[in-house]
Structure formats: C-alpha cells, structure tokens
Chain A
Amino acid sequence: MNLAQQKRLSFAALMTGPILWWILVLLVPYVIMLMISFYSKQFPFHVPDFQFGNYLKIFDDPQYFQVLLRSLKISVLVSLVTFALAYPLTYYLVFKVRSHRVRMIIYVATIIPLWVSYLLRAYTWKTILGTEGILNSFLMWIGIIDEPISLFLYNQFAMVVTMAYIFTPYMVMPLFASLEKIPRNLIEASKDLGVGRMGTFLRVTLPLSVPGILAGFTFTFCLSFGDFISPQLVGGPYSNMISNVVATQFGIAMNWPLGSALSMIMLFIVVAIITMSDRFERAGRLDLN
C-alpha cells in the first residue's frame, strides 16, 4: 500500500461518518426547505408542487414586503448603534490603555455579557423600560416625571436598544482584533509627515480598521435580522420582523410553504451579505500590500 492510498484510507475511516452526518442534518434539510418553498398550501397542511406563488406573494403583498423592509431598516439601525458604542470603547482600549493586563481585563469584561443568557438580557430590558418598570419608577422616584411614560417599551426604539445591547460584543470583537493589528509605526509615520491627529485618524487608523468594521456590521446585521425573540418581547404591535413572520408561519398560521420561502429569502440575504463583506475585505487587503 503506497502513501497516497494509505492517506485515502485514513480519510475514509475518519470522515465517512461525519460526512454522512453533515449531509443528513445540514444539506438535506436545506434542500427540503427549498423544495417546500415551492409547495402550495392546501388545508390542512400543504401539497407537493412546483410554483413560485409563495415568492411572488412575498414581493406582491405589502404585508410581507413592508416587514422585510422594516427588518432591513431595524437591522441596519442596530448595526449603526452598536458601531457608535463599540468604536470609541475599542479605540480607547487599544490606543489609550497602556497596560496590556488592564486592556485584556476590560476586553473580556465587554465579551462576558455575551455569555449571560440571551433571553434574560432581552427580558431585563422589558423590566427596565416598561411603564411599571425600573426606568419609569426611577424617574418618578427622583421627581423628574409625575406619571409613567409608556413611550419606552413596545416600539421600534425599544427593539433597537435591546438588540444593540445584546449584540454590541459582536461589534467589539472584530473591531478590537483589527485595531490591534494596525502597526503603530504607520501612525507614527503619518504624524512625522506632519499630518494632524484628526487627519491621521481619518486617513490611517479608520481605513485600516475597515475589515473589523465590515465584520462587525456583518455579525450584528445578520444577528438582528434573524432575531425573533427580542421583537416579540419588547417590540409591540408595529415591530414585527421578518423572523417573527417566519415563526408564525410554522405556528398558528400553519403555512409552511410560505414560511420556507421567507426563510430562503432570509438565507439568501444573509449569505449575500457575508459573501459581499468577504469580497470587500479581501479587496481591501490587496490594496494595503
């Protein structure tokens, strides 16, 4: 038995099981979801078919299309808010904190909330923002307001705050990694050449942190786009996201074909965004060399 054969044999021994598993639990379910997205709904369940009605409905019916647009808008807003929160923090950590130990402690401290139950983090915002909640009772207690304000909870504002809170660590991680990688001598060189601090930031630091920004936007966008728990907890009546509509199709609405079509569209959007940010990042990397 030669080396190549031996290698092939060991690969087969190692991977036959896992490859079968991946095909069975990953590839096949995606294919089935794609198939069902072409089925037609027929009481009480659905029947095999091949038609594009489910997809057309999503783009025709303003009910679905509006929700799709709203989800995109909310997800972009969440990404922007997490960016506005994470960039100053990460910049401060990387460039202003001198002690490596302190920097790592604070960095881990920003990541830890990620490990605190996701559901509970969404839920605490409900207890904070509600009319009977902590923020209102605090404001009344110190005498700023006399009556509870109902504007905090059950709207898109509450949704953006909650999701931005939950997903900020996902922005911090890639930003931190990319800011840390910036060679300090580039920044010094820029200053030696007489560029001011602001100019150095705008023309050296910021462009070099673009890969981190892209990754952060991709993470936070995709995560908020797929979140159906926070909208349901804090969103109220006019804050349905596409993911909520999908969940409903597999619950009370019992329209699996439509739900599968919506999931395929979500899958397509997410994969497109990931691919694009990958491309941009790679293009950016080439520019630097």
Chain B
Amino acid sequence: MAIQQAQIANVRRETPNGWHFKWAGFDITGRALAVAAGCVLAFLYIPIVTLIVFSFNSNPITRLPLTGWTFDWYEKAFTNSNLLAALGNSLLIAAAAVVICLAIGVPTAFALDRYQFPGKVFFRRLVLLPITLPGLITGISMLNFFSMMDVSLSLLTVMVGHGTALTAIVVTNVYARLQRFDRRIEEASSDLGARPWQTFIKVTLPNIRNAIIGSSLISFTLSFDEIPVTFFLTGRDNTLPMYIWSTIRRGITPEINAIGSVIVGVSIILLLVSVFIMSDPVKKAGTGR
C-alpha cells in the first residue's frame, strides 16, 4: 500500500521522457499507467493473499464470507504423516539436486568461460537445453533412458532428473560472474608465487562465491517445487508437490492452504536471501580474501 502511494506521488514529479497527456494540469497517461500497474500487482498478489487468508479460515469450504479464525489446518497438516514423509523426501531431493548442480555446473561454467574446445557451441546449447525446454520433455527423455537401462524408478532417479534439469541455472549464474571477473587478479596471484590451487581457493572462489550460493538457493527452491520431471521419474515415494497434486485432484482442503502458506513464507525468505546475496556488487573484486 505504502509503495503504491509512493508511486502515485512520484507520478506528479515525473521526468519528461514518458508518454503522457495532460489535461487541466493532470497527467492522465501517467495516472492511467499507475492504475494499470496497480491492477497488475493486485492480480499477482490476490491469489497468494487468498491462499494465506483461507489457511486461517475455519470453514472447510474455501468460500466467502470468512467464518472465523483457526489454526486447525496447520495442526492437521503438521500431524499428517504422509505429508511429512513427502516433505522429508522433497528436502532430501532438493539437497541432493543442489550437490549435483554444483558438482557439474561449476566446472561446466569454467569450461565455457576459459577454454576453447571443439563442439563448444553445441555443448553450450545442449547444456542450456533443459531450462529452455519444457520440464515434461526432460522428464520423458529420462524416463525412456532409465527404462531402457532397466533402472527402477525411485527417489534416486528423481534426484538425477532434478540435477539434470536445474544444473543450467548454476552454469548461467556462475558463467555470468566469471565473465565479469578480472582475470588479471589471478595472474597477479600466480606472479606472486601462488600455486594454481591456491589462486583458485584464495582468489577465484571468493569472487564467484555469491553466484554459487545464490544459484544453489534458486536450484533448491526450484527442485523443492518441481513437478514435471518428478511426475515421470518418481517411484513409490512422493515428493511434497506430488503429494499436494494427488490431494488436490481428490478435492480442495484448507490443509493444502496451510502447507501452501508455509511454503510461500519459506520460499520468499529463501528468494530474498538469494537476491540479496547475488545483487552484492563486484566492488569487492580484487580484495581476494
């Protein structure tokens, strides 16, 4: 609210670059744009607010008017053993996916930034394919693969699937940071007698650290939320989104609203942390340690 009021206040003092009509001293276009922007923001947030509000509403049917305040749905959600098992699986998979993403993604980013090798253009396209293609296609191609190799589906196949689908996020973020990184600092380090691994640990790594932490958090969140790949690669065990998906199809329960609100809260915290970390400017470049 305060932000929107600030925006409206800003319209009156705006720069002359914009596109606006004036009528009796009023900036009509600016006002119209402000209203439109406000509506779009409302459109983006009403469903999320709805989710949270109804997680506290005592009526088991999600409808207006609100009937009363309750914590029952949270209590139900957190005593539901299937849901908790799914939550545990999801956390485990997300952690494993991050490990895979980093183990594969960081070297790949280095290779793309620092080496010339035959087939580099193709390699680059291949590596970035999973984030451009629908998750469904990654899921199906890996399902075909696992079935042909006679690998039975389990949480392990889901981990590999998530790792494959999400590594590109680490690659793009680390690559972008490496591109902005002044290589002369590394040269200076080796001129001063550092061994290559010392240069890596003390100079290179601190410079790409934020990109690594930030993209790990993003990968974690996305893996935690992932459905299309999981849908095809999971065996008997459910992840949290798959559990929610199977529950939703049977009908709507406010329990889902409750667990949803918790996820919303946690994801937003994780996101804000990763934005904060990644937006940290490169001003520290050069102060290797």
Q: Is A95 within 8 A of B263, CB to CB?
A: no
Q: How would residues 11 to 35 of chain B score, 1 for a CB under 8 Å from any chain A CB and 0 otherwise?
A: 1011111111100000001100110
Known: A14-B111, A96-B33, A165-B47. A110 touches B41 (CB 8 A): yes
Q: Is B140 within 8 A of A260, CB to CB?
A: yes
Q: Is A155 an interface residue, CB under 8 A from the partner?
A: no
Distance (Å) between the CB of A181 and the closest chain B CB? 14
Q: Is B41 within 8 A of A109, CB to CB?
A: yes
Q: Is A85 an interface residue, CB under 8 A from the partner?
A: yes
Q: Is B145 within 8 A of A32, CB to CB?
A: yes
Q: How far, in whole Å, are A271 and B231 apart by their CA atoms in the complex? A: 23
Q: Is B44 within 8 A of A98, CB to CB?
A: no
Q: Is B11 within 8 A of A96, CB to CB?
A: yes
Q: Is A132 within 8 A of B63, CB to CB?
A: yes
Q: Is A133 within 8 A of B148, CB to CB?
A: no
Interface of A is mostly: helix
Interface residues on B, range: 35 or more
Chain B residues near A113 (CB-CB < 8 A)? 44-45, 48
Q: How far, in whole Å, are A27 and B115 apart by their CA atoms in the complex? A: 21
Q: Please, which residue of chain B has its CB at the minimum distance from the CB of A256?
A: B144
Please indicate which of the listed interface residues A21, A108, A132, A201 has the most CB atoms of chain B within 10 Å of its own CB.
A21
Q: How far, in whole Å, are A138 and B50 apart by their CA atoms in the complex? A: 12
Q: How far, in whole Å, are A226 and B136 apart by their CA atoms in the complex? A: 7
Known: A26-B164, A96-B18, A222-B132. A18 touches B111 (CB 8 A): yes
Q: Is A86 an interface residue, CB under 8 A from the partner?
A: yes
Q: Is A17 within 8 A of B252, CB to CB?
A: no
The tally of CB-CB contacts under 8 A between chains A and B is 257
Q: How far, in whole Å, are A32 and B148 apart by their CA atoms in the complex? A: 8
Q: Is A250 within 8 A of B232, CB to CB?
A: yes
Binds A, one of B175-183, B186-194, B204-212, B264-272: B264-272
Q: Is B144 within 8 A of A36, CB to CB?
A: yes
Binds B, one of A53-61, A119-127, A281-289: A119-127
Q: Is A118 an interface residue, CB under 8 A from the partner?
A: yes
Q: Is B117 within 8 A of A11, CB to CB?
A: yes
Q: Is A112 within 8 A of B271, CB to CB?
A: yes
Q: Is A246 an interface residue, CB under 8 A from the partner?
A: yes
Q: How far, in whole Å, are A15 and B267 apart by their CA atoms in the complex? A: 33
Q: How would residues 19 to 32 of chain A score, 1 for a CB under 8 Å from any chain B CB and 0 otherwise?
A: 10110011111101
Chain A residues near B108 (CB-CB < 8 A)? 15, 18, 22
Please indicate which of the listed interface residues A125, A168, A228 has the most CB atoms of chain B within 10 Å of its own CB.
A228
Q: How far, in whole Å, are A247 and B136 apart by their CA atoms in the complex? A: 8
Binds A, one of B68-76, B79-87, B241-249, B281-289: B241-249
Chain A residues near B268 (CB-CB < 8 A)? 112, 115-116
Q: Is B134 within 8 A of A116, CB to CB?
A: no
Q: Is B111 within 8 A of A116, CB to CB?
A: no
Chain A residues near B127 (CB-CB < 8 A)? 22, 26
Q: Is A263 an interface residue, CB under 8 A from the partner?
A: yes
17 A-B contacts, Cβ less than 8 Å apart? A25-B142, A88-B36, A89-B37, A96-B7, A102-B3, A115-B270, A115-B271, A121-B48, A125-B47, A133-B63, A137-B65, A168-B43, A222-B134, A229-B245, A243-B136, A263-B137, A263-B141
10 A-B pairs closest in CB distance: A226-B134, A29-B145, A137-B63, A29-B141, A124-B47, A88-B36, A92-B37, A92-B33, A95-B18, A120-B260
Besides A29-B141, A92-B33, A134-B64, 12 new A-B residue pairs in contact (Cβ under 8 A), listed by A number: A33-B140, A88-B36, A89-B37, A89-B40, A96-B14, A96-B34, A117-B263, A132-B63, A197-B29, A228-B136, A233-B249, A246-B140
